[in-house]
Amino acid sequence: MAIAGILFDKDGTLLDYFESWSPVNRKLALLAAEGDQALADRLLRATGMDPETGHVVADSLLAAGNTQEIAEGLVAAGSTLSARQLVEDLDWLFAEAAENAVPVTDLAVFLGRLKARGFKLGVASSDNEISIRRTAERLGFAPVLDYIAGYDTGYGCKPEPGMVLGFAEVAGLVPSEILVVGDNSHDMMMGRNAGAGMTIGVLTGTGTRETLGPLCDYCLNDITEIETVI
């Protein structure tokens, strides 16, 4: 069956992960450490980021986790704040981070071309829904989206199939008509678990050809190469 809808991850897929999130990760660790830089560095290492180099491990909490999972990981690693307080603080921090998000290309133009070809378009992220909407509005691609799902929208979390199935329902498609695009293994597994027609991994995030290759139909340098595939 031909692809009729494309569901994109946000961070590392539509946005350059390292340009957009390295400063945010440092802020969240310092917040969770209540200003203690040594503890903040330990929290970064525990959740997947090298505080010296800024490298983030593929499929780690900072690469792939939702706010609740990151908060719980920070508490387990030594933050004295409660997970509940951290979820509230991190969701606010992530929504504010939308103001400095760095796109991998002109998303209004790129997604506009896909929309003009008749594709239904959606975003499914482990970030919160407000952050996704702020990003889409700021970067000018909100008008072409048919669907937005964050970890708190009600469709479940990656790698569960709910976000894909929700897109199918909203867009009037069946899962086999949907292409799922992401930069981490949990994006690919979400697509597979939902019975998506195709999965594509991109290298603008924390995933690598080694981590993504076995789980996707295509592994591309970035989303702009999708047009040559479909």
Helix 37-47 to helix 67-76 angle, to the nearest 10 degrees? Answer: 120
143 with 92, same domain: the answer is no
Mean pLDDT value across the chain:
97
Range of the domain at 188: 5-16+103-229
80, pLDDT greater than 80: yes
Cβ neighbour number for residue 107 with a 10 Å cutoff: 21
Q: Which pLDDT tens digit goes with each residue over 39-57? A: 999 999 999 999 999 999 9
Q: Which pLDDT tens digit goes with each residue over 125-178? A: 999 999 999 999 999 999 999 999 999 999 999 999 999 999 999 999 999 999
What confidence score (pLDDT) does residue 1 get?
A: 66
93 with 136, same domain: the answer is no
What confidence score (pLDDT) does residue 229 get?
A: 92
205 with 107, same domain: the answer is yes
**Total domains in the fold of the chain:** 2
116 with 215, same domain: the answer is yes
